[in-house]
Amino acid sequence: MSDVVIVNCTVADGRVVNGVEPIADAAVLVRGERITLAGPREEVLRQAEGATEVDLGGAYVTPGLVNMHTHLSLSLPGQGGEGVKGLNAHELALYMADGARRTLNCGVTTVRCVAEKDHADFALRRAIEAGRVPGPRVFTAGRALVCTGGHGHEGSDTLECDGVDGFRRGVRAQIKAGADLIKVMISGGIAGEHERIDTRQLFADEMAAVLATAHAWGRKVTAHAGPAPVIAEAVELGLDCVEHGYQLTPEVVARMAERGTALVPTLLVTRCKEFFDELGVPEWMQCRSLGAGPRHLESYAMALEAGVEVLLGSDMPPFWDFQGTSATVRELEYMSEGGLGPARALYAGTLGPARWLDADGDIGTVEAGRYADLVAMDADPLADTSAFRTIRWVMKGGRVVRDDRAGKANHV
């Protein structure tokens, strides 16, 4: 891999929320996999001896996006999901590898997987790290923990556990397989026919067992959770992140803000009728999902108001073509329009997730020492989050993986 110096661009990252201004007429020097200098062009060029120049033609450059709620082996009820469920182990691995490649191409350079089938995510991560298949950096929970018959029990992307011992064992089994974090389903959800969104699924002792075991091993815990009472209890027990949060209240968001519990709102899952139609998702699930939409958005607004840390996560496959862009970018637009605004949306899609993952020394900013995981787009993401629709160029670890500026369509 040759060293490159990226020129003719404006550089912005999530530090803008802390007053770090974008750099116009910037350059970024990349030696090997990492950024060694980012700043005003003249300054960077003085240090750029031996580097090949990459002219971005006036593009805006940000860190690659981090999608904090992904399932590369997702199978929802309905015929699309049945197709995925029917894949054998080899087919599943290849299917996930294809999803990983597509994900990277749409500018998502890191994902946090929060329930994947059969531990295939660990094989995928090893293959990506070894350079055998293109894909984003992968942080993964392995299989999600769920009570017997609980949310998502139908698939091999969950592990049924019961009681304190059962959940401890579940946590340890994921860590043994290589999990970076733990995902647990503490309430019902949209995709379970015999439950409601507000069905409590874990007892307090089970939740405490998950949290204490994971934390003892230095792993954070995120919970699929809808209703406020269950979330409130988990937050008091030390939960690190809430997924969805369909039915939050002012009281629970205040506690989340105080205790530093993050929220990945996944706004798309209650506003993606076209996606459900494409997969042949049954009527009951569509009704439950779309019916929960207004309350879901209200919960999100409450969280923003209270100062809860919100992070980008699509739940839908990150690369899915949806309403004219990728599911990831569409989600970020919804977050931005829902009250976050473009600067904080940029943070929520890059530096915020990097911090949650304790990976901000490696990813999340355009800064010396970080991996050169970068995207370039035609429009200004600080003026409008829809700028991410114009991503034309993607670099991961110093290697250009997509370049379709000037009519070129070179994808890995």
| Residues contributing to the site for Zn ion (CB under 5 A) | 315
Q: 51 with 38: CB under 8 angstroms?
A: no
Q: Which stretches of 249-362 are assigned E, i.e. beta strand?
A: 262-264, 321-322, 325-326
**What minimum distance in Å lies between the beta carbon of 43 and Zn ion?**
44
Three-state SS sequence of 21-75: CCEEEEEEEEECCEEEEEEEHHHHHCCCCCCEEEEEEEEEEEECEEEEEECCCCC
Complex with Zn ion: residue 315 or 367, whichever CB lies closer: 315
CB of 317 or CB of 349, closer to Zn ion = 317
Q: CB-wise, 112 or 392, nearer to Zn ion?
A: 112
Tell me how many degrees the CA angle 147-227-143 measures, rounded to the nearest 5. 35
Count CB-CB contacts under 10 A for residue 46. Answer: 11
Question: Of 121 and 315, which CB lies nearer to Zn ion in the complex structure?
Answer: 315
Which secondary-structure segment (H or E) carries 334? Answer: helix 327-335
- Nearest distance in Å: CB 315, Zn ion: 4
Q: How far is CA 328 from CA 39, 345, 347, 385, in A?
A: 28, 12, 14, 12
Between 151 and 392, whose beta carbon lies closer to Zn ion? Answer: 151
Do residues 29 and 3 make contact, with C-beta atoms less than 8 angstroms apart? yes
Q: What is the closest distance, in whole angstroms, from the C-beta atom of residue 117 to Zn ion in the complex?
A: 13
Phi, psi of 399 (to 5 degrees): -115, 130
Cα–Cα distance between 293 and 272 in angstroms, integer? Answer: 10
Q: Rounded to the nearest whole angstrom, what is the least distance from the CB of residue 139 to Zn ion in the complex?
A: 15
Our CB check for Zn ion shows the closer of 185 and 348 to be 185
Q: How far is the CB of 115 from Zn ion (least distance, A)?
A: 6
Closer Cβ to Zn ion, 206 or 315, answer by number: 315
Whole-number Å distance between alpha carbons of 122 and 126: 6
Q: How far is the CB of 259 from Zn ion (least distance, A)?
A: 23
CB of 71 to Zn ion, least distance (A): 6
Using CB positions, name the residue nearest to Zn ion.
315
